[in-house]
């Protein structure tokens, strides 16, 4: 008497299109709102640096160090031809790479790259769109700022640039744009579906 072999259930490698559309949305991240607040806070830090350097609003730019007087929209503003990177690169750098960074002081291409990236990173993080790319850009700038002034004055190796870079990694990893932002909508757009790095 022949024993009948059991049939094995075959699972298709791909999900049929009619079911793929009905797939459940990604599960919420624990602490998603806290990640969102971190995202918005860091985004504002980048965007404010852009605004202050562009218009000389008197925080890091446009304030007389001796008198405290602020020259709003004055000569220190980027819109009036001042270099937003020259002061730091010429006088704020130190360590083994200081000479390299000092050689970049006042370079127009660097000013444009720096300012546009500040604006784009800040806006993307605040809105919650393109968080991955914004995080990558932010991490690159944090690494450059860290290397341009190593080692930190008050710690053997840790400073705020390292901490911000770590938070940016977390923001990209958890998809923090989905909370208090437009990330959920952004991820469903045809562009992002085609190029997931834009999430």
Which segments in the chain show pLDDT lower than 70? 1-27
What residue segments make up the domains of the chain, in order of their start?
A: 31-198
pLDDT value of position 158: 94
pLDDT value of position 31: 84
Q: Which of 163, 186, 177 has its CA nearest to residue 131? A: 177
Q: Would residue 14 be called left, alpha or beta, if left means φ above 0 and alpha means ψ between -120 and 50 degrees?
A: beta
Give dist(CA 110, CA 118) in Å, integer. Answer: 12
pLDDT value of position 23: 38
pLDDT value of position 8: 52
Contact partners, residue 29, CB within 8 Å, separation at least 6: 35, 174, 175, 176, 178, 179
The answer to whether residues 143 and 88 touch, using CB atoms and an 8 Å cutoff, is: no
pTM assigned to the model = 0.81
**Which tokens is 137 given?**
């850009």
């Amino acid at each position: 008497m022949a024993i009948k072999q059991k049939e094995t259930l075959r699972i298709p490698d791909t999900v049929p299109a009619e079911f793929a559309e009905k797939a459940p949305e990604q599960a919420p991240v624990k602490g998603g709102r806290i990640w969102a607040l971190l995202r918005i806070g860091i985004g504002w830090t980048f965007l404010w640096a852009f605004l202050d350097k562009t218009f000389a609003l008197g925080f890091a730019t446009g304030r007389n160090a001796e008198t405290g007087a602020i020259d709003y929209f004055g000569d220190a503003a980027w819109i009036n031809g001042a270099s937003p990177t020259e002061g730091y690169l010429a006088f704020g750098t130190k360590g083994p790479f200081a000479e390299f960074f000092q050689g970049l002081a006042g370079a127009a291409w660097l000013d444009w790259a720096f300012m546009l990236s500040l604006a784009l990173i800040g806006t993307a993080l605040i809105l919650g769109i393109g968080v991955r790319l914004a995080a990558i850009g932010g991490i690159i700038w944090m690494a450059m700022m860290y290397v341009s002034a190593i080692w930190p004055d008050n710690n053997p190796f840790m400073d705020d640039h390292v901490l911000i870079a770590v938070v940016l990694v977390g923001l990209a990893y958890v998809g923090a744009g989905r909370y208090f932002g437009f990330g959920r909508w952004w991820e469903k757009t045809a562009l992002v579906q085609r190029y997931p790095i834009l999430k």
